[in-house]
Structure 1
C-alpha cells in the first residue's frame, strides 16, 4: 500500500499536467479510493486537510485581492519603477527589489508575478529591453519575497517543516532564499547585459496618477497588518481577515469581486495535495521515497540531488502546491539515514531550486510572462516560440547553477 500510495500521487501529478486538471482535487478523490483500499476511515482521511494553513492562505489572498481590485498594488509598482528615470539600467534592479518587498509583505510569489509581470513586459516591449531579463528578475524577486513568513510559500514551508519538528526557521528560510535568488539574479543581469541599458525616453516623465482615498486606506491597512503580525505576533490569516473586514466596511474595494478574485484553484491545490500526502505518510510511502533518494546521494550531494529533483518536478507541477508537500516530508528521513545533513539546508534547497524552475513557460511565472509580452508587443508565433525557448533555457540554467552551488554548501553558509 505504501508503494501504491506513491503511484497514486504520480498519477495525480501526471493527470494534472496532461489533462490540465486541479491536482489538489484529484488528490482528494484518490485519497478516498486509497483509504477504502487500505482500510483507513473517512475521518482519518479528512484530518489530512490542513484547516489552519487554509485559513492563513485564504485571509492573506483575500486582503490582497481587495488591494489588487482597486489598483493599489499596480499603481504602487508604477510609482516605484518610475523612479529610475533615464537610468534604465536600474529598471531591472528596481523590478527585482520591489518584487521582493511586495511579495514579502503578503501577496506572495504568484500574485506579485501577476501584478509586476504586466508592467515589466509592457516596459520590455515599449523600451526594447530584453523580455527574458525583466521576466526572469520579476519571477526571481517574487519567489524570493514569497518565502517571507507573511506570504504563502513561506507559510507553507514553515508549516510543512513544523510537522516534522523543524521550527523557528522563518528568518533563515527567507534569508537563504533571498541570497540564492539574488546570486542567480546577478548572473542573469550581467549575462543579458542589464548594466548596458540606456534609453532616450525618460520613464520618470510619464504622468502617473496620485493615490486616491480608497487606495491610501488600502495601503494603510496592509501596513497595519504587517505591524500586527511582526510586533504583536497575531496569526497572519486572522489579522488579514480583520483588516479586510475594516476595508470592506469602508467600501475601498468591491467585496464580491475580491472574493471571486481569490486564487481558489491554488488554495484547493495546496490543501488537496495535503490530504493525499498525509495518507501517504501514514501508509509509509514517504519512507519508500526517502530510501530511493538516499540510495543515489551522499551527505555531500544531498542538497544538490534534492534541489535537482525538486527543479525537475517543478517544470511539470506546482512548486508550493505539489513539490514542497511531496519532498519536504522526506527531509527528516534523509537527514537521519545519511547523517551529518542539516534539515534546513535540505528544505531550503528543495524550496528555492523548485521556484527557480518557475521561470520556465511551463510554470506559472513563465506563462504569465509569455502571455503578457505577447499582448504588449503583439508578438507573432515565431517570436513567442523564440521567447519560450530562451525562458526555458534560463530556467534550466538556474536549476543547474543553484544545484552546483548547493553541492558546495550554499544553503549552509548562512545557517
Structure 2
C-alpha cells in the first residue's frame, strides 16, 4: 500500500469528524497535522507550524476586523437602510435589493454567514409585508453573498487567489471576481424567473403599505446620519480598495492599518470589534491549510492529483474535482473545501491541457453555489428566519435547489469555463 494512503484518509476523516460532531475543522486538522507530521512524516513541531498560512491569517483578520468596526459604528446599518428605501413600493425590486446588499457587503470583506445573518431578518420582514416568497428572498440573498465573496477583498477570493499565488498558478483576482459574480447573478435571475410570480393571497392589500415611497412600517427605522465616524469608515474602505487594486499594496496589512486607524480615532465603536473577527473562519482555514501544506511536503497532494488525472482525459478529471467540491460543500465548509481542493488541481493543471483560471472559476462556483443547502450555514440561517408557517416549504425548496446545484453547478461551470480552454 502506498505511504500516501493514510494521510489522504486522515484528510477525509477530518471532514467526517467535523460533520459528525460540533467541532471546528481547523482544530481537527491541526491535530491531524501534528499526529501525521510527527508519527508518519518525522517532522518537528516547528516544521509543522511553518505550514501555517501567516499571510492569509493577517488578511482574514484585517478584513473581518475592519468590517466588524463598520458594523459597530453604523456604516452597515446606513447602507442597508438607504438601500431598502430604493424599493419604494415595488415588490419586484425587493429580491434584487438584498442581492445587491449581500454582494456589496461580502465584496468589501464581510464573511458570507455574517452578511446573511444581518440581512435575513430585514429581508424576511420586508418579504412578509410585500407577500413575496421567503424561499425566493432566502435564495437570492444567499446568491448575492456568493457573488461578492470572490472579490479581491472577499473571503473566498482571498483564499482562492492566495492558494493560486502559493502554487504559482498565475492568480487573476478581477477575472475570478467577474466570472463568479456573473455566474451567481445568472443563477439568481433564473431563480427570480421561476419563483418570482408566487404571490400568496392578500398580496395586493399588504403591498399597499409601502407604495407611498417609504419602506413599510414593519421595516422602517429612524434615518441614520452619515456622521464624521461613518464617513471616515467609508473613506477607509475606499483606501483599502484603491490601495490594494490600483497600487498593489498587501490587502491584509492595509486592512489592519485602516482598521487600526479607525480604532484609534473612534475607540468607542471599535471596542469589542476584535471579538467580532471571524476567528472561526481564521481557525478553519489556518488549520486546514497547515495540514494540506504537510500533505504537499510529503508528496501526498501530488499523489492524489496524479490519481485524479489517471482516470483518463484531464477534462473528465476536472469535472470530477468540481463534483467533489459541490457535494462536500453542500454539507461542510466552502472555505475548507476551497483550501483543500485547489492544491489537488495542481497536477491536473501542470499537464497543460486544462486552464488554471478556468478550472479555479469552475471549482469556485461548484463549491459555493451549493451554500443554499439547508445543511449549510447560509441555508440554515435562511430557514431559521423564514416565517414559521412557511418553514416546511422553505426547507423543501432549499433542499431541492441545493440538490440541483450539486449537479448543475459543476456541470455548467465546467462546460463554460473549463472545456473551452481544454486541449
Unaligned 5+ segments in structure 2 are none
Partner of 1:265, secondary structure, is: helix
Stretch deviating more after TM superposition (98-107 or 7-16) = 98-107
Distance 1:217 1:369, change over 3 A: same
Contact 1:306 1:346 in 2 (8 A): no
Residue 260 of structure 1 is matched in structure 2 by: 275
Corresponding residue to 1:392 among 387, 399, 402: 399
CA deviations on 1:359-397 (whole Å, 9 max, x unpaired) are 012112112212222xxx3x15xx434322211211222
Equivalent-residue separation in structure 2 for 1:248 and 1:407 (angstroms): 44
Deviation at 1:318, TM superposition (A): 0.8
TM-score (ref. length: structure 2): 0.89
CA deviations on 1:252-278 (whole Å, 9 max, x unpaired) are 643331111111111101111111111
Deviation at 1:20, TM superposition (A): 1.0
Corresponding residue to 2:362 among 317, 330, 349: 349
Deviation at 1:112, TM superposition (A): 2.4
Residue 324 of structure 2 is matched in structure 1 by: 309
Equivalent-residue separation in structure 1 for 2:348 and 2:334 (angstroms): 20
Residue 413 of structure 2 is matched in structure 1 by: 406
Is 1:240 the counterpart of 2:255? The answer is yes
Is 1:326 the counterpart of 2:329? The answer is no
Equivalent-residue separation in structure 1 for 2:276 and 2:289 (angstroms): 23
Is 1:274 the counterpart of 2:289? The answer is yes
Deviation at 1:226, TM superposition (A): 2.0
Give the alignment of 1:169-318 within 5 angstroms.
169-193=172-196, 199-202=207-210, 204-206=213-215, 207-208=220-221, 209-213=223-227, 214-251=229-266, 253-296=268-311, 298-318=313-333
Deviation at 1:195, TM superposition (A): 9.3
Give the alignment of 1:31-42 within 5 angstroms.
31-38=33-40, 39-42=42-45
Partner of 1:408, secondary structure, is: helix
CA deviations on 1:38-97 (whole Å, 9 max, x unpaired) are 212212111110100000110000010111123321331121122021221011122223
Distance 1:221 1:317, change over 3 A: same
Partner of 2:152, secondary structure, is: coil
Corresponding residue to 1:363 among 372, 376, 382: 376
Corresponding residue to 1:64 among 64, 67, 72: 67
Stretch deviating more after TM superposition (101-110 or 56-65) = 101-110
Deviation at 1:295, TM superposition (A): 4.2
Equivalent pairs counted in the alignment come to 407
Residue 153 of structure 2 is matched in structure 1 by: 150
Equivalent-residue separation in structure 1 for 2:281 and 2:394 (angstroms): 26
Deviation at 1:333, TM superposition (A): 0.7
Deviation at 1:108, TM superposition (A): 4.3
Residue 55 of structure 1 is matched in structure 2 by: 58
Contact 2:91 2:132 in 1 (8 A): no
Contact 2:164 2:171 in 1 (8 A): no
Distance 1:408 1:241, change over 3 A: closer
Equivalent-residue separation in structure 2 for 1:316 and 1:290 (angstroms): 23
Contact 1:104 1:150 in 2 (8 A): yes
Stretch deviating more after TM superposition (268-277 or 297-306) = 297-306
CA deviations on 1:216-235 (whole Å, 9 max, x unpaired) are 33223222322222333221
Give the alignment of 1:90-129 within 5 angstroms.
90-129=93-132
Stretch deviating more after TM superposition (19-28 or 162-171) = 162-171
CA deviations on 1:192-228 (whole Å, 9 max, x unpaired) are 1259897322274134413252333322322232222
Q: How big is the alpha-carbon RMSD for the aligned residues of Structure 1 and Structure 2?
A: 2.3
Stretch deviating more after TM superposition (392-401 or 37-46) = 392-401
Deviation at 1:132, TM superposition (A): 1.5
Distance 1:33 1:146, change over 3 A: same
Deviation at 1:296, TM superposition (A): 4.3
Equivalent-residue separation in structure 2 for 1:82 and 1:336 (angstroms): 50
Unaligned 5+ segments in structure 1 are none
